[in-house]
Amino acid sequence: MNMLNRRNFVLGLLSSSFIFNQSKLTSGHDNSSNLHNIEHYKSSEDVLIIVDMQNDFCPGGTLPVKNGDKVVEVINRIQKKFQYIILTQDWHPEDHSSFVTTNPQKEVFSTKKMPYGNQVIWPPHCIIGTEGAEFHKNLITNKASFIIRKGFRKHIDSYSGFFENDRVTSTGLDGILDSLNIKRVFVAGLALDFCVQYTAIDSANLGYSTYVIQDATLPVNIGNSVQETMNNFKKNNVGFGKLEEFI
């Protein structure tokens, strides 16, 4: 790692929150027909980033993605194909500046101006220490080497797993990938048109070959957010399709 990357890595770790799991990664046999041709695939240059598979983004949560829990089974199967897995986790204080409860003059899904640009107003979600912030009960988490927590700063929201929404504050994820010599990033989770999109585009712009796994993500779908996401993937050379199309 060169001096600049090492410095960015250290600064990222100091300015963000992440959890390291030293448990040994395991692989398993998969009988799914969709993954038959890649049953034995695993590369030390690839990483799977599972974005925000938390209760509040699934049915019954405060900001649910329709059928969001349905992608958990796909994500669990896909995990067997990766040596490196990283989870991101929305992690907000209860008085976060993006919440409608701290903006009583605003409606949910409206916007307000922040120093870093327009901010969507959200229902309170993924509040630190609550059940809504926990990962979905069926998601396999013990194969992950890192958990990146984001959005814990009161005055900055965070969609991307790499940067907070001010586009300056790093989560440390880039430094982690650099230290692992990662070349290709595969992204799954929720929601396609927000946190998955931002994570994938940042990954591509940081120089990683980046792919979003189509059947392992679903959108919030606000206005034309899905079409904008597809357009942004094309502009930033982010692949979008099933895993077997890319490996």
The radius of gyration of the chain's CA atoms, rounded to the nearest angstrom, is: 17
Q: 3-state DSSP call for residue 68?
A: helix
Task: Give the H/E segment covering residue 225.
Answer: helix 225-235
Provide the pairing of β-strand 84-90 with 111-114: unpaired
- In the set 46, 69, 81, 195, the catalytic residue is 195
Is residue 246 within 8 A of residue 211, CB to CB? The reply is yes
What are the Cα distances from residue 54, in Å, to 32, 63, 170? 25, 10, 22
Active site (annotated) includes residue 195: yes
Is residue 231 within 8 A of residue 225, CB to CB? The reply is no
- In the set 52, 90, 174, 193, the catalytic residue is 52
**Which pair of tokens denotes residue 246?**
């890319």
- In the set 150, 157, 174, 202, the catalytic residue is 150
Q: Which residues are catalytic?
A: 52, 150, 195
